Chains A and B, each alone.
Chain A
Amino acid sequence: MQRVQSRFRPAGGAGTSPAFSAAIAFSWREAEQSVAMAGELESSKPLSGLLNGLAQSTFHRHSGITEELLRTQLYPDVPPEEFRPFLAKMRGILKVKKQNYNERLWDFTGDIHSIAYADMDFNQLEAFLTAQTKKQGGITADQAVVISKFWKNHKTKIKESLINQSRWENSLKAMNWRVDLKSQSKHFEQINVPVAIVELELGKNGQESECLCLEFDEIKLSQILKKLTEVEESINTLTNPA
């Protein structure tokens, strides 16, 4: 364990390549923030970067974040054969079933229930991480702190990503509307009747969207609103059970 710790010291001020920067640009800022909050832990900066890289790849489906990229950018002093089990350990702590993801990163079977899979709350997380620090070949106390901070910062976003990935039906991507006045019609009674024109963009994950264009008059609209009010009541019942 001591030897592992000394290997995983931060690389001295190495610049990051544009590819890597682009890959985790937004999350690097967050990684830095989480490091600042965690205090000046010596090994925390690359670990935060690593966790971010893993999250981007796993949960947000960002391609291009390979094991080699993470190693050369964050732990250049560590040889690949040592880095691989370390990465697998961190990955196992964070994530889920391997089969959904690119074989480049997920070639190791973790048998621990990961934080994201179990959607741990913070008490569970603390207990889980403490147990990991006590395990043979587990994580250090410093690493536990970094992981904890990381999860606190990213939990919501990761959860949203996971929810999104399991939505397989059409979702509403966008909605535009306007109100028109019909000025010409073959039916005289339709002159000067206001109609609502609504464009709904419906799409599934990774597929091209379909645009559904609807037209309804005031009466239809009020019927729709009545139904949607029922939905709202249902939602309220769910969130505030009587």
Chain B
Amino acid sequence: MEREMAADSQTPVEFTMEELCQPPLEAKSEVTNKLLDLQWKMGMAVSSDNCRSLKSPYVALMLKVADQSGQITNKSFEMTIPQFQHFFKQLKEMAAVIETV
């Protein structure tokens, strides 16, 4: 179920404590955005023109982010329930790691 998330089989990269303590092999310089706010909703796709009875629940997130220059944009995306559960699990793991660093 967890593998469903990555449509192009890109598996999440998880670091162990040992790896975190070592200097990274590649210095990745990405431009990061700051998360200002997170909103969520849960919806249900009931029916569509190609399937009368979809009955498919989903979670939609709306992220308010600020880039390095301070410009604010909204980014939104949807997840199926299993995808959400995977997402949530990843964030919980992140929190566990960040606590111990």
Count of residues in B whose CB is under 8 Å from the partner chain = 56
**Interchain CB contact under 8 A, B54 and A163:** yes
**Interchain CB contact under 8 A, A216 and B35:** yes
* In the complex, number of A-B residue pairs with CB atoms less than 8 Å apart: 168
Q: Which residues of B contact A112 (CB under 8 A)?
A: none
Q: Which residues of A contact B101 (CB under 8 A)?
A: 179, 181, 194
Q: Which residues of B contact A225 (CB under 8 A)?
A: 88, 91-92, 95
The dominant DSSP class at the A interface is mixed
B51 at interface by CB-CB < 8 Å: yes
From the candidates B55, B56, B98, name the one contacting A221 in the complex (CB within 8 A): B98
A177 at interface by CB-CB < 8 Å: yes
**Assembly CA distance A83 to B28 (angstroms):** 58
B 54-91 binary contact with A (CB < 8 Å = 1; else 0): 11111110010100000000011111110111011011
**Interchain CB contact under 8 A, A166 and B32:** no
B22 at interface by CB-CB < 8 Å: no
**Assembly CA distance A167 to B50 (angstroms):** 12
Contacts A172-B5, A174-B6, A227-B40 supplied; 18 other A-B pairs, CB < 8 Å: A117-B50, A118-B52, A118-B53, A163-B54, A163-B56, A173-B6, A179-B98, A212-B63, A214-B63, A215-B33, A216-B34, A218-B95, A218-B98, A221-B95, A228-B88, A230-B40, A231-B42, A231-B59
- By a beta-carbon cutoff of 8 Å, the part of chain B in contact with chain A is 5-8, 10, 12-15, 20, 30-35, 38, 40, 42, 45, 48-60, 63, 65, 75-81, 83-85, 87-88, 90-92, 94-95, 97-99, 101
